[in-house]
Amino acid sequence: MVNDNILKDLGLVDGTPSLTPRQVEEIGTLLPEKETVRVLEFGAGRSTKLIFDALKKKYKEVVYVTYETNPKYVPTEEGITVRMHTREDLVNSQITIPSHEKYDLVIIDGPDGDLRKHWFFLFKDNVQKSTIIHIDDAFHYPSFELEFRNNFPNTEDMFIVPLGSYKGNKCWITSKIL
């Protein structure tokens, strides 16, 4: 396996609705060195396809599951599993993630607003030691961090970018399960 950061220079652009180039590059420094990578994503979009395609260059097998509310953002890339839901499904705990599914990377980038806080409880059983959890727009809503810390007390913060410290209004937390 090559140690190069395959998530660097994917073509993401600052100031768009996508994850920032810096966010994705930071995630790339934390990817596991093994043959298979399993990604769980909440909120698909342009970055989904770019990340998936990059991961296929490094790993023999890429398992990529994304939950999305808006058909407009659904990736059509073969190999990405899309699970559609509504905001009401999320808020009312109508979504379940099979407990046998374990992930190496979890990206929380949707749905917009305070509703992201509802994901943390749902995927508690789907992580393991060294799983990377990336939370986009973490400091816009204090509930994101509060729910994250309550559900995952055994984490180490790898990257934290406070609101406004990186090109305006972007902020995030990237942590690893201990």
Domains and CATH numbers, the chain: 32-177 (3.40.50.150)
Of 29, 22, 24, nearest to 4 by C-alpha is 29
Q: What predicted TM-score, i.e. pTM, was given to this entire model?
A: 0.94
Q: Report residue 82 as tokens.
A: 């899309």
How far is CA 45 from each of CA 14, 51, 151, rounded to the nearest angstrom?
15, 10, 26
From first to last of its 178 residues, the chain has per-residue pLDDT tens of 445 899 999 999 887 777 899 999 999 999 999 999 999 999 999 899 999 999 999 999 999 999 999 999 999 999 999 999 999 999 999 999 999 999 999 999 988 778 889 999 999 999 999 999 999 988 778 888 899 999 999 999 999 998 878 776 788 999 999 9
